[in-house]
Amino acid sequence: MNLHSPSATQRLAARLGKLLQPGDVIELSGPLGAGKTCFVQGLARGLGVARTTRITSPTFNIVLEYPARLPLVQIDLYRIADATELIELGFDHYLESGAVCAIEWLERFPEAAPPHRLSLQFAIEGPKRRTLSVVGHGRCKKLITQWLGGQP
């Protein structure tokens, strides 16, 4: 699907945020600057994160947590060098916490990917235009129909 602007990306994400349930996992893949953080900003609004809260990329923090209707945990695995670091990070704890987890660069550690997740692949098509591909895994397949009407 085409995303013609950052605001369109955020609106789409906010719709998803309103549908999410405890423990849902959103995998965000794509190159730097493709819109992953922009998407999480909209997701946060849909979950009810306060509008005054600044949503930023967690590249240097690795994990950022935001209180909301359902807590949002944003995880960026870009700087993680080895799967053993996921244990030190408490990765499984976050997945089991009941929070919504938005995880960037999860494709680097496919063995750590939970069986139930929504995978979003962003691609850069122009200065402001992006495309988004969506795949549901496990119980998250139904989420696509609720969110997009079954047309990813």
Whole-number pLDDT of residue 65 = 95
Tens digits of per-residue pLDDT, 50-62?
A: 999 999 887 778 9
| DSSP structure string for 41-87 | HHHHHHHT--TTSPP---TTTSEEEE-SSS-EEEEE-TT--STHHHH
What is the count of structural domains for the chain? 1
Whole-number pLDDT of residue 101 = 98
Indicate the average pLDDT of the chain: 93
Structural domain harbouring 30: 2-148
CATH number reported for the structural domain that contains residue 12 in this entry:
3.40.50.300
Tens digits of per-residue pLDDT, 70-118?
A: 999 999 999 999 999 999 999 999 999 999 999 999 999 999 999 999 9
pTM across the whole model: 0.92
Sole residue written with tokens 């496990």: 138
